[in-house]
Amino acid sequence: MEEPRSISRRTVLLMAIATGVIVANLNFIQPIEGLIASDFQLSKAVVGVLAMLTQLGYAFGLLLIVPLGDIFDRYHLIQFMMVLSILALLVAFISPNAVVFAVATTLIGITSVAPQIIIPYAGFLAPAMQRGKVLGTVLSGLLTGILLSRSFSGLLGSVMPWQDIYLIAAILDVILLVIVHQRMPRDPRGHQKLSYGNVISSLPRLFMTQRRLQGSSLNGFCMFAVSNVMWSTLAFYLADQYHLGSNVAGLLGLLGIAGVLAAPYIGNLVDHRSPKLTISLSIVFSAFAFLLFWLIGQWLVGLILGIVLLDLGTQFSQVSNQAIVQSLNRKESSRNNSVFMFSYFLGGSLGTMFATWAWSIDKWNGVCLVALVFLVISLAGHLILKEPDHLNEPAGE
């Protein structure tokens, strides 16, 4: 298939907005964990498991649903998944107890995978020399959704019942669905003559035979785990150290705007310099962030500087790895993205689980120690599974 000559700015903007609005569903729970724990009379460790279920559900949605993007028309598949996600949000809204909410939050994770169908679709539509920039812009939307969802959830949770957050999210998703139906470009490939069983069974082969996919998957696993280590326990730390509520946790999420603004420039760096450089920077920024959290996190200035650095590190990792993954075989782009994002959110869910467990044992020191373990693993992977110097460099698999 010939390289498309261009992708319009309007299309890229729509894809960025869509990824941001949909991915927000995954993060509403983080700033309001304390409210949910109080309402359902749960311990912090148990409510941490509920947050983990969202991430884990998303990981399995990535593994089992996103590969369908290599089979079905992505224009229709994106909308179908949005409908299911809206239904899951409504179940969360009406949940009468923790068990039903646990089912709902898992379903939210499983069904909110449309962004990971949109991202390889954007990579497919973009010309090769613009792919990093286009993906950087779309991923800016993704990160904006993550950041604003925390602020949205934290602020609304301080003035209304936390359940209403899920109702409002469902309404916003319905509005987005109408716009996507009208404005999203049709998939030029249509439906492919591939069986679901063959597509799913090919995932282990893709992982085992592509060293670049292995490296990106390991780095994504570790760096998103590091991000979730902080965000899943921030509300606990603010309440314990500063006696502040969910509204402040939400406002601190806005500090990640630095990562949003940097994403297109990171994409340019990946296109014209080196993914190896940008992956290195992701590890350095995240390591310095947790050094600040541990040494001077008891002061707000240390916490603020650390959050800015951590979100920059997360964005450097995400944009770099997505550019590497989308530079692989275009016919397998959804499956490659599925493998990468499965590992990414599996890391996020484990980061959440281990961080809440560590908080219950040694509070903030324990949280920082968990982050250190993931950072050491990411550094080892960076040194062993070396990233390419340039995206157009032969893979050598």
Provide DSSP, 112-178: --THHHHHHHHHHHS-GGGHHHHHHHHHHHHHHHHHHHHHHHHHHHTTS-THHHHHHHHHHHHHHHH
Residue 376 lies in a domain: yes
Counted domains in the chain: 1
**Angle made by CA atoms 21, 22, 23, in degrees to the nearest 5:** 100
Residue 38 lies in a domain: yes
Structure tokens at 128: 């090769």
Sequential pLDDT tens for the chain (397 residues) = 444 456 888 999 999 999 999 999 988 887 888 888 889 988 877 887 888 888 889 888 988 898 888 888 899 999 999 999 999 999 999 999 999 999 999 999 999 999 989 988 888 888 777 777 788 788 778 878 877 887 788 888 888 999 999 999 999 999 999 999 999 888 887 777 778 888 889 999 999 999 999 999 999 999 999 999 998 888 888 888 887 776 676 677 777 777 777 767 777 777 777 788 889 999 999 999 999 999 998 888 899 999 999 988 988 898 888 888 878 877 787 788 888 988 988 898 899 889 989 998 999 999 999 999 999 999 999 889 877 666 665 555 5
The residue range of the domain holding 282 is: 9-183+200-384
Residue 195 lies in a domain: no
Residue 213 lies in a domain: yes
CATH of the domain at 241: 1.20.1250.20
Residue 193 lies in a domain: no
Residue 238 lies in a domain: yes
Residue 268 lies in a domain: yes
Residue 1 lies in a domain: no
pTM for the predicted model, two decimal places: 0.74
Q: Is 159 exposed, middle or buried (0-12, 13-18, 19+ CB in 10 A)?
A: exposed
